[in-house]
Structure 1
Amino acid sequence: MDLRPCSNVCSVTKKEEVGEPLIGGLVVGISNVSFHVFKANSTEIVKSHRVSLTNVLTTRDGWIEQDPIMILRSAEECIDKAMAAGKVLNGRVMAVGIANQRGTVMAWDKTTGEPLSNAILSSDVRTARMVYEFLKKNDKYKFQKTNGLPASSCFSAFKIMWLMRNDPAVQMACDQHRCHFGTIDSWLTWNLTGGKQGGVFVTDTTNAAYTFLMNINTCNWDPALIKYFGVPLDALPEIRSSSEIYGQITRESLLKVPLAGIIGNRQASLLGHKCHRPGHAKAVWGSSGSLMANTGENKIYSKHGLITTIAFHFGHSSRPVYALEGPIASIGEGAQWVKKMFNSKSCECTVPGKADKNKQYVYFVPALRGLFAPYWQEDARCVIVGLNRETKNEDIYRAALESSCFQTRDIIDALDKDLKMPLRHLKVDGGLSNDCYLMQFQADISNMQVSVASFKEITALGAAMVAGYASGVELWDIRCMPELKSNTYTPKMSTEERENRYIDWKRSVARTFNWIDRSSDWDGCMYCWIGAGTMLAFGLLAFLFIRRKQ
């Protein structure tokens, strides 16, 4: 990765300097929005503010939506409250970057600025029938050499096609050439730079790569894919690099500050954790998850269930850095579901060494909405395997937590095969990375060193880094960032136990497949919970019956 030096960095190294420049990082996730103000070229946070997000309530199974206005107002609130702090002086914030959850997509009217639809989240599975119809006629990897992706309901193109087919307001706006489709970065950038009064309609390559519509070779919208999905080209944003000045912010609290960075949240985390070289790998554990490995300027098309994507793209004149990624549909969400259903106490499940006392292991496969990489099984549903008379609620919760590690091991094994070299070290962050037992188990089951940074705002740091590095800002030297202080975990599990447990996990995963009868007239917005609900209901009844007999 060829990075230029930043000419202005030397002016920010003296921490006592009164007018020291600052860089803002706006992060939009699934559950919250935050804005962090960093001292340029450092991990020091001057001020931050965070707001929680909620999903739109709906009775339609499998639909997961958020209100775009709520997302925008939350972002504005975070910016305004952080900038209102006494430490943040007017004129000191020199640029702002955005990191966002890539899979969420929406439509809005460019003439009024009003949303035409709710924001549809990546985990929404209303398009499962469309994917099934696609797979009846095509291999799931039909377009892999074009966009790097298998066909899946998690990608935006299927959701855009659904909106054009099913939402009359979107249909009319498309016919009248006033519709904008975009991921959350495009919605926020357009509004923050003026909205209907000249807002900039752009996205970056890391977000566009997740839509299914971008050509991974040219970093432009692919004409064949645009035609296949029937998306009007004038309704899509211009694709730009992740680090350049797109426009100036018009909001009073950041008036005329350059918006100079847009990057997917997983890529921002990869960058912030200093995974700059080929072979560096990073896992993020939130409600969902991802494991991404930097492959440098070489594209690797996976033969083992991973996706080819853009890791970084520093400026329009630079070549993109590629990555192999394994998206994971459910990590924290599955654990929270089990904790609620079984009334488990997390403190009793995460004590190091406690799991070793029970050799009758329980396995939970959290296919709440199917499985992503490396299986790509839309019709997979949850299973709990290994219940017996001695099983306790806490054992099931521990199994749900451990499923995060097993799913990560699945991705690691696929990476080893695609990269033709074993990973030796994995960096991890996200909410579950605070669990010491879980991180030790990840090191054990993967047989590799695992590092968890003590600094927790890595995604915001990545957003600030791409903004500070942009040409015309040049206040962040990405090459010279020090390694973050980390807690490191090394493998302690025996080879025999590791492989036996992983074999049992793979057997459990195989039992989740083909739970949907696709020969019947099923609908993607109604099928989602039938298989999982029926199966888990029987499992719960059996478990409760056994417990009562004790």
Structure 2
Amino acid sequence: MADFIGAVDQGTTSTRFMIFDHGGNEVAKHQLEHEQILPRSGWVEHDPVEIWERTNSVMQNALRNGGLSGTDLAAIGITNQRETTVVWDPRTGRPYYNAIVWQDTRTDAIAANLERSGRGDVIRRKAGLPPATYFSGGKIQWILENVDGVREAAEQGHAVFGNTDAWVLWNLTGGPDGGIHATDVTNASRTMLMNLETLDWDDELLGFFGIPRGMLPTINPSSHPEAFGTTRTSRPLRAAVPITGVLGDQHAATVGQVCFSPGEAKNTYGTGNFLVLNTGTELV
């Protein structure tokens, strides 16, 4: 019988895998840092391949530390640094560029132009976000406009986008061999591209950034027994384990602090300072 639950936590400075028993007790974990790439002032990047390699290593080592195998896991979930943007070739799994991290400010001109053009108010109304360097939409636009061949590849269906949740999920479920290209509503809500009313990508918002819809992952509920697929037996767990949840890290922390009622909030002091408030059914 599979008695344990695994959790991938892909963060800004490190990736870890933790294993819990049915009582919620941690029985094993492993954590590895990855490189912070700083090409110039205000630019912050990660190597997506390194992140995937670290994910492999921490999963394997956590199992080893606990004296377990992949078949002992009933399910796993993924939580991740939000907004950090990866664009890759789904035919090969090769990233077209380093991941542009949430802290990166190279898209300040894109954000300023959205405000000047009056599009900022539309983004606020539909996506609930102000135009800012923080969010993924401008980062995708920057890659499309500045990395040779990516625009053409995207238009041909050979370039796809994901935050690190989608990148890790796609690789765990097969990568170029049928990997699932999906995300959840919490991560999608941090792109400036998702309509809060429909919980789907918004064509008008995509047009503001010049992003082909085909680049984007399917948006799923954060918890679902089937939508995120299962790990491939050739991948790090060496077992077909259901992936039943995906949640952006600060949203996951809000759940972890049991902020289930409107008006309840949590504040996380980590790589950044993140205050999240439960607004109930009210769109903000």
State the AA in 2 paired with 1:299: E
- In the alignment, is the contact (CA less than 8 A) between 1:20 and 1:39 conserved in 2? no
CA contact (8 A) 1:193 1:248 kept: yes
Question: Bigger shift: 197-206 or 250-259?
Answer: 250-259
1:45 aligns with 2:42: no
Question: Which whole-Å deviations, capped at 9, do the CAs of 1:265-319 have from their partners, x for residues lacking one?
Answer: 00111111111122211001112121111122x1242xxxxxxxxxxxxxxxxxx
The 3-state SS of whatever aligns with 2:131 is coil
Report the AA paired with residue 205 of structure 1: V
CA shift in 2, pair 1:47/1:173, >3 Å: same
Contact 2:56 2:236 in 1 (8 A): no
- Cα shift at 1:172: 3.1
Q: Once the 2 structures are TM-superposed, how far is the Cα of residue 55 of structure 1 from its aligned partner?
A: 1.1
Could you list the runs of 5+ residues in structure 1 that have no partner in the other structure?
1-18, 302-550
2-structure distance, mates of 1:54, 1:189: 21
Which runs of structure 2 are paired with 1:286-365 in the superposition (5 Å)? 286-296=270-280, 298-301=281-284
The 4+ residue runs of structure 1 with deviation greater than 6 A are none
Q: Aligned partner of 1:27: which letter?
A: D
Counterpart CA distance in 1 for 2:70 and 2:153 is 40
**Distance in structure 2 (CA, Å) of the matches to 1:148 and 1:234:** 23
Q: Deviation string for 1:462-506 (max 9, x for gaps)?
A: xxxxxxxxxxxxxxxxxxxxxxxxxxxxxxxxxxxxxxxxxxxxx
* Residues in 2 aligned to 1:248 and 1:69: alpha-carbon distance in whole angstroms: 21
Relative to structure 1, the CA distance from residue 188 to residue 20 in structure 2 (aligned partners, 3 Å threshold; closer, same or farther) is closer
2:17 to 28, 32, 35: 35
Deviations 1:354-408 (A, max 9, x none): xxxxxxxxxxxxxxxxxxxxxxxxxxxxxxxxxxxxxxxxxxxxxxxxxxxxxxx
For the pair shown, the structure with the greater C-alpha radius of gyration is 1
Which whole-Å CA distance do the structure 1 matches of 2:140 and 2:266 have between them?
30
Partner of 1:247: 229
- 5+ long unaligned stretches in structure 2: none
Cα distance, 1:175 vs. partner? 3.3
2:147 to 167, 191, 210: 167
The 1-side partners of 2:258 and 2:41 are apart by: 40
Q: State the TM-score, normalizing by the size of structure 2.
A: 0.94
Identity fraction in percent:
35
When normalised by structure 1's length, the TM-score is: 0.50
Return the letter of the residue paired with 1:261: G
CA distance in 1, matches of 2:142, 2:71: 44
The one-letter code matched in structure 1 to 2:282 is K
SS at match of 2:95: coil
Is contact 2:27–2:66 with CA below 8 Å preserved after alignment? no
Find the aligned partners of 2:20 and 2:212 in 1 and give their Cα distance: 39
- 2: distance between equivalents of 1:233 and 1:139? 19
| Aligned equivalents of 2:118, 2:15: Cα separation in 1 | 38
Q: RMSD between aligned alpha carbons?
A: 1.5
Question: 1:90, CA displacement in angstroms?
Answer: 4.8
Q: Greater helix share, 1 or 2?
A: 1
Q: Distance in 2 between matches of 1:124 and 1:137?
A: 23
Q: Which residue does 2:55 correspond to in 1?
A: 75
Is 1:64 matched with 2:56? no
Q: 2: CA distance between counterparts of 1:153 and 1:22?
A: 39
